[in-house]
DNA sequence: TGGCATTGCAAGTATGTACTTGCATAAGGC
DNA sequence: GCCTTATGCAAGTACATACTTGCAATGCCA
């Protein structure tokens, strides 16, 4: 196997993410991405086919290695499972603190970028939903709401808290155990 | 005077604002602005000279007629002055609820658009600062902070509240009198 | 050492988009 | 009725940018 393959590709993905956040999808040129990655522009097109392919891949790849495997299985006990889910997402948000708000804004403006074959965030949300569904069937969570609602009610405030903190430039400390407890005692968690 | 002058110009400015919010500065093409305004593209360039000129003008003009005149003079009593200031800004935010968050995001990404000769928001902020400075000199506000700080402390939470509400899709009701009282009783307002 | 994969470089093509020019037309004001 | 002003239309220019092609160089592995 050709050893130099990984670095060029990885640098292109990283540069694409940064420029996407800095200048937006239309403002980020392939030439500039290649320059920042220290790679020729031709290589970019040989690897990713098109500008859109590159940015889709970048958005899919920005979820860290091992994130999906780290998510709790449906068989995990309720409270531990939620705790692990929360911890995994907290780490993800922390790892991309500076970029995420602008990336989200670009995703809203260019929905096609989120249509990547297996955008990991989508998969990750699917796994979270599976966990909530399993706990519903075990009778540990209320069944009068679809599991997607339960998952959103759990993760939504987390995103909101994060985005608000970034927008205002403040760090909002979060106690994971208290967050899980608060969810379980709240409206959606009540069984 | 040529009677048809105003409509074409006004429609161009309005279409430019909408497209700026929808697609961003780079994504908004002059052709599309002209089409939406129901005007030929060449008219756009004859009126505003360039794409940048058009969008600068649009950002300057989106402050409603009479807004500046409505701001309180330095001679207004403290509490009434703050109340009028607050009411004027509340109306402005209300008038542009849907557009403002995206416009602000574009302003952050393209600062040159804010460099308009007399961007009214800049002027408006200057008048607010003058009010706070006058009240400082009357001894009604603490003098150990620059008036710009006092103005920001007064208007900042208003903007934050508005942006948060838009981001989360909720309406946060605001009691103007309570807001002014809270400011005057708080840290920055204490004299 | 020979072959394959990966990359760079130089040069191109195609297209979109900002911006221009020339001419004709219509709407007022005087 | 003439002039100014505003506008549209058709056509075109200049440039940036996405994307391609051909060829040579380099690193790796068998």
Q: Per the structure block, which two tokens stand in for A68? A: 């999906």
Is some CB atom of chain B closer than 8 A to the CB atom of A164?
Answer: yes
| B34 and B71 co-located in one domain | no
Rounded to the nearest angstrom, the minimum Cα separation between B102 and chain A is: 9
What is d(CA B106, CA B111) in angstroms, rounded to the nearest whole number?
A: 8
Contacts of A174 (CB under 8 A, 6+ apart): A90, A158, A161
B contacts of A160 (beta carbons < 8 Å): 167-168
| B51 and B85 co-located in one domain | no
Q: What is the DSSP string of A2-44?
A: -TTHHHHHHHHHHHHHHHHHHHHHHH--HHHHHHHHTS-HHHH
B contacts of A157 (beta carbons < 8 Å): none
Residue B8 confidence (pLDDT):
84
Give the residue-averaged pLDDT of A67-78: 91
Over the stretch B14-58, which tens digit does the pLDDT of each residue have?
Answer: 999 999 999 999 999 999 999 999 999 999 999 999 999 999 999
Q: Is residue B191 part of a domain?
A: no
Q: Per the structure block, which two tokens stand in for B20? A: 């700026």
Torsion angle of C-alpha atoms B122, B17, B57, B157, degrees rounded to 10: 0
Q: Is residue B190 part of a domain?
A: no
Give the residue-averaged pLDDT of B92-116: 85
Q: Is residue B122 part of a domain?
A: yes
| A158 and A76 co-located in one domain | yes
Q: Cβ distance B20 to B27 under 8 Å?
A: no
Q: Mutating which of B19, B21, B26 best tests the A interface, going by the most A Cβ atoms within 10 A? A: B26
| A168 and A77 co-located in one domain | yes
Q: Is residue B97 part of a domain?
A: yes
| B74 and B148 co-located in one domain | yes
- Our count of domains for chain B comes to 2
Q: Give the domain extent around A95.
A: 67-185
Does B179 score more than 50 pLDDT? Answer: yes
The CATH number covering residue A47 comes to: 1.10.10.60
Does B123 score more than 90 pLDDT? Answer: no
Separation between the CA of B18 and the C1’ of C19 (whole angstroms): 22
Residues 40-69 of A with CB under 7 A from strand C: 40, 42-43, 46-47
Q: What is the DSSP string of B52-91?
A: HHHHHHHHHHTSPTTHHHHSPPTTS-HHHHHHHHHHHHHH
In this complex, the answer to whether residue A9 has its CB under 7 A from any atom of chain C, a nucleic strand, is yes
Q: Is residue A190 part of a domain?
A: no
| B23 and B99 co-located in one domain | no
| A101 and A179 co-located in one domain | yes
What is d(CA A95, CA A64) in angstroms, rounded to the nearest whole number?
A: 9
Domain boundary among A17, A32, A61: A61
What is d(CA B34, CA B57) in angstroms, rounded to the nearest whole number?
A: 15
Domain boundary among B25, B41, B59: B59
Using DSSP, state whether B28 is helix, strand or coil.
Answer: coil
Rounded to the nearest angstrom, the minimum Cα separation between B2 and chain A is: 39
| B71 and B151 co-located in one domain | yes
Q: Is residue B163 part of a domain?
A: yes
Residue A147 confidence (pLDDT):
87
CA angle, B84 as apex, B132 and B188 as ends, to 5°? 35
Residues above pLDDT 90, as percent of chain A: 43
B contacts of A162 (beta carbons < 8 Å): none
The CATH number covering residue A85 comes to: 1.10.357
Please give the nucleotide, over all strands, whose C1' is closest to the CA of residue B40. D8
What is d(CA B134, CA B154) in angstroms, rounded to the nearest whole number?
A: 15
Q: Cβ distance A79 to A135 under 8 Å?
A: no
What is d(CA A128, CA A148) in angstroms, rounded to the nearest whole number?
A: 9
Over the stretch A149-188, which tens digit does the pLDDT of each residue have?
Answer: 888 888 888 887 887 777 666 677 788 998 898 888 864 4
Q: Where is mean pLDDT largest: B5-9, B84-88, B98-102, B164-168?
A: B84-88
What is d(CA A105, CA B158) in angstroms, rounded to the nearest whole number?
A: 22
What is d(CA A92, CA A99) in angstroms, rounded to the nearest whole number?
A: 11
Nearest CB to B24: which of A26, A163, A164? A26
| A57 and A97 co-located in one domain | no
Q: Which residue is nearest to nucleotide D10 (CA to C1')?
A: B42
Q: What is the DSSP string of A145-185?
A: S-HHHHHHHHHHHHHHHHHHHHHHT------HHHHHHHHHH
Contacts of B30 (CB under 8 A, 6+ apart): B41, B44, B45, B51, B54
Higher-scoring residue by pLDDT: A45, A147: A45
Domain boundary among A25, A45, A61: A61
Q: Is residue A191 part of a domain?
A: no
| A85 and A177 co-located in one domain | yes
Rounded to the nearest angstrom, the minimum Cα separation between A65 and chain B is: 30
Residues 36-65 of B with CB under 7 A from strand C: 41-42, 45, 49-52
| A89 and A155 co-located in one domain | yes
Give the residue-averaged pLDDT of A125-147: 89
Q: Mutating which of A19, A23, A24 best tests the B interface, going by the most B Cβ atoms within 10 A? A: A24
CA dihedral sign, ordered B76, B77, B80, B81:
positive
Rounded to the nearest angstrom, the minimum Cα separation between A81 and chain B is: 27
What is d(CA B188, CA A1) in angstroms, rounded to the nearest whole number?
A: 65
Number of helical H runs and strand E runs in chain A: 10, 0
| A73 and A167 co-located in one domain | yes
Nearest CB to B24: which of A24, A164, A167? A24
């Amino acid at each position: 196997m050709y050893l130099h393959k990984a670095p060029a590709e990885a640098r292109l993905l990283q540069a694409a993410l940064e420029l996407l956040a800095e200048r937006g999808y239309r403002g980020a040129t392939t030439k500039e991405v290649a320059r920042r990655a220290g790679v020729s522009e031709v290589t970019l097109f040989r690897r990713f086919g098109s500008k859109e392919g590159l940015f889709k891949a970048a958005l899919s790849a920005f979820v860290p290695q091992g994130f999906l495997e780290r998510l709790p299985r449906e068989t995990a006990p309720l409270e531990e499972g939620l705790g692990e889910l929360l911890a995994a997402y907290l780490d993800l948000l922390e790892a991309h603190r500076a970029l995420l708000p602008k990336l989200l804004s670009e995703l809203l403006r260019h929905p096609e970028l989120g249509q990547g074959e297996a955008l990991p965030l989508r998969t990750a949300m699917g796994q979270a939903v599976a966990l909530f569904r399993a706990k519903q069937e075990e009778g540990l969570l209320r069944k009068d709401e679809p599991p997607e609602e339960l998952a959103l009610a759990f993760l939504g405030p987390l995103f909101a808290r994060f985005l608000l903190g970034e927008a205002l430039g403040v760090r909002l400390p979060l106690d994971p155990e208290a967050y899980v407890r608060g969810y379980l005692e709240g409206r959606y968690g009540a069984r």
